[in-house]
Amino acid sequence: MGCCLRAAPSSSFLLTCVKGPANSKSSSYSRRWYNPVRRKSSLLIPDTDRQWVTADNNRTHLLSEERFTVVSYNILGDRNAFKHWDLYRNVPSIYLKWDYRKRVICEELIGLNPDIICLQEVDKYFDVLNIMEKAGYLGSYKRRTGDYADGCAMFWKADKFQLIEGESIEFKQYGLRDNVAQVSVFEMRKAKSRRILVGNIHVLYNPRRGDVKLGQIRFLLSRASILSKKWGNTPVVLAGDYNSTPQSAIYTFFSSSELNIMLHDRGDLSGQKNCRPTQALGIRREQGSLFVWMDSSWTNEEIKSATGGTDSRVIRNPLKLRSSYAMVKGSAETRSSNGEPLATSYHSKFLGTVDYLWFSDGIVPTKVMDTLPINVLKKIGGLPCQKFGSDHLPLVSEFAFIQGSKDENETSNFLIS
């Protein structure tokens, strides 16, 4: 996008000098700024341009003309960036400052030109809102409960979508920690029959509390399903940072109809333990035992958190969901064997995927913006960086409605073809 260069004072002054009168003084002055050392160092910066990947399907004639683009982005709360400074030892301090990151993040979002934006870890909501309003967006915000400054925010294009119903979820009310979520139903202004339900969540981080993670996700799915039915089985998109990897039991629950919690290690339902940069990058072999102890013993409290009651051991997903990135084939340099990005988040203690855009029947992804190859992330050394204002990468997907889709098998048939 080149946004950082445009905002740099020295670059602006340099351009003024180059365009000035052609005399010996100005020419000499310009050459001193364009020194070969600086130009050589710029060549060392890895290519961080992200590419759109289009879905390969020969039944595009079944798709409606109405398209919409959704972004999911954990923007790294200002307070968290400095509270957890040890995660960003490889990041120059300028790239951690909110004033810098705010500009980079908002310029990136505006440049992507999405219709709906779902942000997590937002603790400077009004800073972001002031910028996004000028770009034609409306917004809503839900702060976490307890002693937390951040929360979830949602923005949408005022000229394309109208909010017809919205609700915020405080998981604290159900004994599921201080995390929050948003659920909103939108109607297209130029196609009143087209509606979409969008959910936005930042799931609990704690890798050992998979029971709480499942409980939060279970409740979000329930509310989304209820609201979807209320508005005539409106298609659903669920964005967010789920703090769970594609190899985890929680991911399996999302992509299947049910999960028997007793078949899984209660302390590693999220798969986060296996995503340290040293493991992912193959820098060195991790020291440890050859044997992995699986603790499948669950307390009644943990069972209740995960399933909603002490009598049940199986939780069911009321929505038939798929991941947009897994459905649009990408490069082997950026994707894992199941189609998900190799990494959506990178700092000194984590390199892996925890962010997703899930969708239900009635819509299909037509394209996604691919993430960065692992070798590029390795050269960067960690996020945030000059071009990206967070330790996460934004996920971007365009969706299209399936024409006349009322049968829940329509999406399956379309994707299989």
Summarised one tens digit per residue, pLDDT across range 272-297 is 998 989 776 765 444 444 344 455 68
3-state class (DSSP) for residue 38: helix
Summarised one tens digit per residue, pLDDT across range 338-389 is 999 999 999 999 999 999 999 999 999 999 999 999 999 999 999 999 999 9
Q: What is the mean pLDDT of the chain?
A: 87
Mean pLDDT over 205-225 rounds to: 97
Q: Is residue 207 within 8 Å of residue 327, measured between CB atoms?
A: no
67-402 has CATH 3.40.50.1100 classification:
no
Mean pLDDT over 212-222 rounds to: 98
Confidence of residue 266 (pLDDT cuts 50, 70, 90): confident
pLDDT at 343: 98
Give the separation between CA 352 and CA 242, rounded to whole angstroms.
12
Residue of 56, 81, 52 whose CA lies nearest to 69: 52
Element (H, E) at 413: helix 409-416
Summarised one tens digit per residue, pLDDT across range 82-110 is 999 999 999 999 999 999 999 999 999 99
Give the separation between CA 177 and CA 166, rounded to whole angstroms.
22
Q: Is residue 242 within 8 Å of residue 207, measured between CB atoms?
A: no
Residue at token pair 């700024």: 33
- Sequence-ordered alpha helix ranges (H) in 85-189: 98-112, 125-134
Higher pLDDT, 257 or 161: 161
pTM, rounded to two decimals: 0.86
Give the separation between CA 122 and CA 130, rounded to whole angstroms.
14
pLDDT surpasses 80 at 253: yes
Mean pLDDT over 171-183 rounds to: 98
Higher pLDDT, 57 or 169: 169
pLDDT at 278: 78
Mean pLDDT over 132-156 rounds to: 98
In 252-261, which positions are buried (b, 16+ CB within 10 angstroms) versus exposed (e)? Answer: ebbbeeebeb
What is the biggest distance separating any 2 CA atoms in the chain, rounded to whole angstroms? Answer: 86
pLDDT at 293: 47
